[in-house]
Structure 1
């Protein structure tokens, strides 16, 4: 079953097209990453799904209900969009109790979400004393109050230190294991690669990729990095491998990087041995999600600006 479906979803703001003809089918359960360069349309898509912005054309369903009737599904959706806002002088518990009363939810639900996000024991402290990571946890707790089937989080690790990122990563994985669908919009590709099962890549409002993260990573070039026992043998080893038909290049660390999968290790070792060279290390290296993303979307702001201008020019003509 799908948690979200869109068909030809388009949104224009004056002369700017934020989304154009977006068609998606997103699976239930697990963590779904939503990525793209700044201005790609991620936030616009989230706002449309939450009923905050109406599409210019096209249609969409959330939890099998049309976005034209958000009242049918929003009670089953939790969301954290931008920075969570709480009353600084009040405790985490009191802030959540106020939100629960506004939504007609039982007080027992506050206790449950505090436990889920790991704030039990800190819940009586005023929010103004919380670290950024704790405030993000509290924001997720607020989004979890209605016990949603779908949780939408916009940049949940933004501004966090490494330990805070690890905490939120673990929390997202726990939520997915509990059977929820979590959609995470983020610019931190390493985090998306670590925690997400499914990935959506948007560029200039157009869908670039939608599918399992593993399928996208399978497109990366497989390499083996090797080191000779003696540094003086590196150039000879490069010549030997090149003469044998391998594609080889130097790494910044002074090793050799060979385009090959891990099954080629024995053959590489034999090639080195024929030249009387002993290898001290042989490490399979997989390309990262970040490399694929940059290949899909552009490697710099200058590339993106040039591509956007070219796309606008083609559309105008």
Structure 2
């Protein structure tokens, strides 16, 4: 490319030669200068006009930046709505975790209030203090979103863990409720489990349960929860009831004067099922109480010991099953 420069007075002409690379460099330089100039004008003129409220320039600036502000506001609103929804979900999960924690602590025998009101270290006012200075750092939107996602994942994992623990505790509690560890009659034991002289013949014979002497009409309660599998009048046991507690574990209540349950009834631990009597092969009013595992008599005293001793007796009886 050639550029001719002619001076009118001297009538002299100067010729400047530019190749395409030089022209490209000049164009780029021109664009850079214009960009820098426009930025300078915008910064020192338009922004100052917008801040100070110049009559015409400030309105022009508002028109230029209005769309930009609107886009920023829309972006912030959308992100705030998303964060608010996420926080709401987190609050719901925390409420669910708190309720589940109360149930689990109840099953474990621990009061949740005692855990919340744990003793805190006593701070002495005016004492010596120290440590490195770590100023708070601003959290970006991406970091905040990452933190919320991490908390959400942790809450889900804790919920699953609580569910598993609650299931195990419930299984343990149900197992303990199905073990006959509650005395069926309030009072002392008249005759224990084992060999003794038969009260009618005087010969040595195996006594397969415990006798609870009591007045006629004394309440008889279920030693554990279960299903009534048999109610009948037996020549030796008199009016009797049997309760199935599962896993081959059965309790038998004999010599009753009146039965209050029928076959197929579901009973709870401590529920009234009969009254003490003197029916069958008996020398006086009392309750004959037996515990059987797969039909084999067990010593009821081991079960009535309660707590871990009752569970151990039930587990031992279960291991001895063929």
For Structure 1 versus Structure 2, the TM-score category normalised by the shorter chain is under 0.3
Q: Taking structure 2 as the reference length, what is the TM-score of the superposition?
A: 0.17
Instruction: Considering fraction of residues, name the structure with more helix.
Output: 2
> Which structure is larger by alpha-carbon Rg, 1 or 2?
2
* Relative contact order higher in (CA < 8 Å, ≥ 6 apart): 1
Instruction: Considering fraction of residues, name the structure with more strand.
Output: 1
